[in-house]
Amino acid sequence: MTWRLSSASTAFVKRKTRSDWVAHASRILASASSRSRTSPRRSQLGRDDTLTKIVSARRQNQHAGRVRYPESCKERGIAATNKQMKRIVPLVIAFCFLGSPLRADLPVKKVLTLEAAKKIAAAAEAEAKKRAATVVIVVVDDGGHLLLLERLDDTQVASVEVGIGKARTAAIFRRPSKVFEDQVRDGRVAALALPGATPLQGGVPIVFEGKVIGAIGVSGNTPQEDEDIAKVGAASAAAAIAN
């Protein structure tokens, strides 16, 4: 291979001495060596900076995720609560609207008090004494349960159970006990098998505002006299309750 130098290069070469060439070569070698040493370092520093940026970005993302995660949970919890409330509120409204008519439909029941029973028995007792009758006077509630029993002086003991039976029959069947006595007399013997029925005259229902609230039974004298005394007591019920 043949190298040709320009006139300027030839003049430059001619001016240089041997020592100049040695120094020039040394500078070239030193420069090459320094570049070979510094270049990998710069490359390594570049890679380190990139890794540092990546790690820092990941840490920031993780930190941001930790901060947002509870908020996202809270938001999901609020959404779930709102959904449940949307289901519950219509049920509550429906219950409120449906509950009132149900309560309004419940009937109001009149009951016979002990004070009123005493007044009714007192009216029957006065009628019995007027007739000089020796009787048992029984007042029961609408279920046939005993409220008051009076046995006048010299009245037979057997009339106690009979009087309770008459009053109970009039209360639970809501009609005078004479009805069943008449059925048996007319040949309907099956009336004797009615549960809780005492088919004997003398039991009368106590009626207030069109409802049977109890009954009074009288026993001890003739069937008709027993019923007449019971009717007087039953007739005084309205005044006894009002007072």
Residue 167, domain CATH: 3.30.450.150
pTM to 2 decimals?
Answer: 0.58
Residue-wise pLDDT for 95-146, tens only, equals: 665 555 555 577 788 899 999 999 999 999 999 999 999 999 999 999 999 9
Q: What is the DSSP track for 165-233?
A: HHHHHHHHTTS-THHHHHHHHTT-GGGGGSTT----S-EEEEEETTEEEEEEEEESS-HHHHHHHHHHH
Q: Please indicate, yes or no, if residue 3 is contained in any of the structural domains.
A: no
Range of the domain at 185: 114-242
Rg (CA), the chain: 59
Which candidate, 205, 210, 211, places its Cα nearest to that of 227? 205
Same domain, 68 and 127: no
Residue 217 lies in a domain: yes
Share of the chain above pLDDT 90, in %: 49
Tell me the C-alpha distance between 216 and 168, whole Å.
8
State yes or no: pLDDT of 156 exceeds 70.
yes
| Domain end (from 104, 133, 164) | 104
Number of domains in the chain: 2
pLDDT of residue 243: 76
**Within a domain: 132:** yes
- The per-residue pLDDT for range 36-79, each reduced to its tens digit, is 555 455 545 555 566 676 667 666 666 555 544 444 555 555 66
